[in-house]
Chains A and B, each alone.
Chain A
Amino acid sequence: DAMVIQNPRYQVTQFGKPVTLSCSQTLNHNVMYWYQQKSSQAPKLLFHYYDKDFNNEADTPDNFQSRRPNTSFCFLDIRSPGLGDAAMYLCATSRDLATGGYEQYFGPGTRLTVT
């Protein structure tokens, strides 16, 4: 089945040690998103790619970076994780709205623990 896959599902990293989370999709969608969701809170958009165009949310810390080497893959890099970065990180995809893409397809998420 076509889907959004996130690896790993659980990631433990040390304070200040760079970490990379990955997302892949088989839907061939041109838009990919990264969200951060802390416990008991709503998902918060960090940034998204529209094809190769990167769009950063204004309040996303510089500590968070992203790469999209091709349509299928997108990576979230946290350069120096702090304790406050512990959260569930959700990847999502969609078609653009011009082709009727009103639905975002979410992956299962990666739960990041910072020790």
Chain B
Amino acid sequence: LAKTTQPISMDSYEGQEVNITCSHNNIATNDYITWYQQFPSQGPRFIIQGYKTKVTNEVASLFIPADRKSSTLSLPRVSLSDTAVYYCLVVDSGGYQKVTFGTGTKLQVIP
């Protein structure tokens, strides 16, 4: 499994765009990248997944460069309710989702 590295924490003001970058240098050809959000005392919640280039959904965008050794989760115009821990995961595509959660990034949104 590819190991992921993220910043431990980030602060952002409300209304700003937040970009969280994850490094996964050992990603394999068939691996996918997923991001989860976790609030205190709740289970993680899936945000977005991608393989390469750019993926956008209603809550976030995911940018993956051609070499796929990193990915960036972009949260547009964050609000206080976006304060959470964000995990980048590399998903082994060998049949089931054997994943290893990295340390995650604790995002604090400031009013």
Which one of B45, B49, B95, B96 lies within 8 Å of A106 (CB-CB)? B45
Contact between A109 and B95 (Cβ–Cβ < 8 Å)?
A: no
Contact between B96 and A97 (Cβ–Cβ < 8 Å)?
A: yes
- Chain B interface size band reads 20 to 34
A94 at the interface (CB under 8 A from B): yes
Contact between B98 and A105 (Cβ–Cβ < 8 Å)?
A: no
State the Cβ distance, B3 to closest chain A Cβ, in Å. Answer: 12
Interface residues of B in 18-43 (CB under 8 A from A): 32, 34, 36, 41-43
Cα distance A42–B97 in the bound complex, in angstroms: 16
Contact between A50 and B87 (Cβ–Cβ < 8 Å)?
A: no
Number of A-B residue pairs having CB atoms within 8 Å of each other in the complex: 62
Contact between B100 and A109 (Cβ–Cβ < 8 Å)?
A: no
A111 at the interface (CB under 8 A from B): yes
Contact between B41 and A94 (Cβ–Cβ < 8 Å)?
A: no
State the Cβ distance, B18 to closest chain A Cβ, in Å. Answer: 20
A52 at the interface (CB under 8 A from B): no
A21 at the interface (CB under 8 A from B): no
Known contacts A42-B102, A42-B104; A101/B41 CB under 8 A: no
Contact between A98 and B95 (Cβ–Cβ < 8 Å)?
A: yes
> Which of chain B's residues has its CB closest to A53's CB?
B96
List chain B residues, Cβ under 8 A from A102.
32, 34, 49, 91, 97
Which one of B32, B43, B87, B97 lies within 8 Å of A108 (CB-CB)? B43
> Which of chain A's residues has its CB closest to B101's CB?
A42
A76 at the interface (CB under 8 A from B): no
**Chain A residues packing against B (C-beta within 8 Å):** 4, 31, 33, 35, 42-45, 48, 50, 55, 88, 90, 92, 94, 96-98, 101-109, 111
Which 7 A-B pairs give the minimum distances between C-beta atoms?
A106-B43, A42-B101, A103-B46, A102-B49, A43-B101, A31-B96, A50-B96
